Structure 1
Amino acid sequence: MVKEIVKYPTTPSLEFGGNIRHFDESLFELIQDIKDTMEANDLNALAAFQIGSPYAVILIKKEDGSYLEIINPRIIKREGVIEPIETTAYFPGLSAKTRRYEKIKLMYEDREGKQQFLEADGDLSITIQRKIDYVFGSNFRIRLNDEERKLFDSKLEFGTDAIMDNGCPTVFKRDRILQLFRVLFISAIIGLIGSFFVSPETLETLKSVENYLMLSMLGLVVVYFFYAQYEGRQYKNCSSCQIGNIIGTSAIELTKLLALFIASYFIL
């Protein structure tokens, strides 16, 4: 039966990590539920916790379409350290750079209760380690260093994986709005100077162009003010200074626009 996948912010039950003691029909039904849910959601691995079960069961889909059934897993040997970029159905649409063992040796039981051993590296090793986190009531967030955890928490807050840096950069996307504003502002200044050298007929056309330019610049300032605040909230380390900078920059651009409007009113 296809089950609903447990997603953040649902937390593990206090009953998580229960070892399988009876290898009977109820276990086989749980395994089938995990398989059905994996197929329905096009997943290559799933832990029992992710469909709401407290038991220590993991399924991993092999390249040939068969399933590796891991029951009561324990990692008994570890080698090397790697930092892969991971995704998981628990945090849909989000990724993070974690810290994992490069190679592991796993002890587990199959559906018949027979003890098995498995040596894994590469993607299989990473997948097993991630699913074992769920077995013990956790998730890959505990595998993040302080910097990556702050970045990932920002992703959780905004619900997007597009946040790439939790620091305070020196260049923002909103700067492009200011660049366009300044191009229009210079164009308007050139238009005012040119008004002294054109015919009355051309002057009327120039006046309309100047009005459109100033209206466009006003719109850009409004867009800048609101977009800059949205962009600034993605960088928690310097959000307070950014807000002050945004307000100050908007005020300066509006003052320049007001001066241009006054000059245009008297000249044109």
Structure 2
Amino acid sequence: MIKEIIKYPTTPSLEFGGNVRHFNQELYDLIDDIKDTMQANDLNALAAFQIGSAYAVIVIKNEDGSYVEIINPRIIKREGTVEPIETTAYFPGLSAKTKRYEKIKVMYEDREGKQQFLEADGDLSITIQRKIDYLFGSNFRVRLSDEERKLFDSKLEFGTDAITDNGCPTVFKRDRILQVFRVFFISAILGLIGSFFVSEETLQTLTRVENYLMASMLGLIVIYFFYAQYEGKQYKNCSSCQIGNIIGTSAIELT
């Protein structure tokens, strides 16, 4: 049965990390629910915690389509560290740079209750570690450095993964739009002045050019207004205060 995936800010339960003691039909049904939910959401791994279950169960899909069922896992050996960029269904559309072990050895039980061992590295190692975090009611946010956590919290606040820095730059890309606008504006002023010194026929042509310039400037103002807001969201420390500046600049240029 397909289950709803728990997503931020919902907290699934305070009863987490429950070891499986009975390897029975209830466990098999839970594993089937995890697989169905993975398939419906095109996921390659899922912890029982993510569908609201307190049991320590992880299911991982291999490249060949088969599944690895990991019950009551414990990391018993770890080696090296890496800093991958991780995504998770709990924070849909958001990513963060975490810190993980490069290689791990996991002790776990299969659906028959038999003890198994698995050595993993690369993406598999990272996936297992991330899912084990869920078994204890956590998520990858606890694996972030202080700086990365502040950046990720900014992404949570604004609901976008586009934020790449907490600082506020002095030069924005949107300023280039204003530069083009001002070139058109100066051209229009020169055309207006020149209209007093040209023939009637040339004046008609000049008027058409001026109309195109006016329409182009109006279009640039609209583009500036919306792009400036998008760009501002990438910088938490200045995005909230910039909206007034964006509106003011747009109004001045429009006038």
How many angstroms apart in 1 are the aligned matches of 2:169 and 2:186?
A: 27
After superposition, the C-alpha distances for 1:88-134 in whole angstroms (9 at most, x for unaligned) are: 11122222211111111212111122222222111110000010111
Q: Name the residue aligned to 1:113.
A: 113
State the Cα RMSD in Å: 2.4
Aligned partners of 2:158 and 2:233 also within 8 Å:
no
Q: Name the residue aligned to 1:20.
A: 20
How many angstroms apart in 1 are the aligned matches of 2:62 and 2:205?
A: 71
Q: Name the residue aligned to 1:6.
A: 6
Q: Name the residue aligned to 1:261.
A: none
Q: Comparing 220-229 with 71-80, which one deviates more in the overlay?
A: 220-229
Q: Name the residue aligned to 1:77.
A: 77
Give the gaps of 5 or more residues in structure 2: none
After superposition, the C-alpha distances for 1:17-49 in whole angstroms (9 at most, x for unaligned) are: 111111111111111111121122221111001
Q: Name the residue aligned to 2:202.
A: 202
Tell me which structure has the larger Cα radius of gyration: 1
How many angstroms apart in 2 are the aligned matches of 1:159 and 1:196?
A: 54
TM-score (structure 1 length as normaliser):
0.84
Q: Name the residue aligned to 2:30.
A: 30
TM-score (structure 2 length as normaliser):
0.88
Aligned partners of 2:46 and 2:58 also within 8 Å:
yes
After superposition, the C-alpha distances for 1:148-188 in whole angstroms (9 at most, x for unaligned) are: 22222232233332333332234423223202211211211
- Aligned CA distance change for structure 1 residues 41 and 186 (closer, same or farther; 3 Å): same
Aligned partners of 2:162 and 2:234 also within 8 Å:
no
Q: Name the residue aligned to 2:86.
A: 86
Q: Name the residue aligned to 2:146.
A: 146
Q: Name the residue aligned to 1:263.
A: none
Between the two proteins, the alignment pairs up a number of residues equal to: 255
Give the gaps of 5 or more residues in structure 1: 259-268
Amino acid at match of 2:49: F
Identical counterparts, % of pairs: 87
SS at match of 1:64: coil
Which residues in structure 2 correspond to 1:248-259 (within 5 Å)?
249-250=249-250, 253=253
How many angstroms apart in 1 are the aligned matches of 2:11 and 2:59?
A: 21
Aligned partners of 1:12 and 1:138 also within 8 Å:
no
How many angstroms apart in 1 are the aligned matches of 2:172 and 2:40?
A: 41
How many angstroms apart in 1 are the aligned matches of 2:250 and 2:67?
A: 59
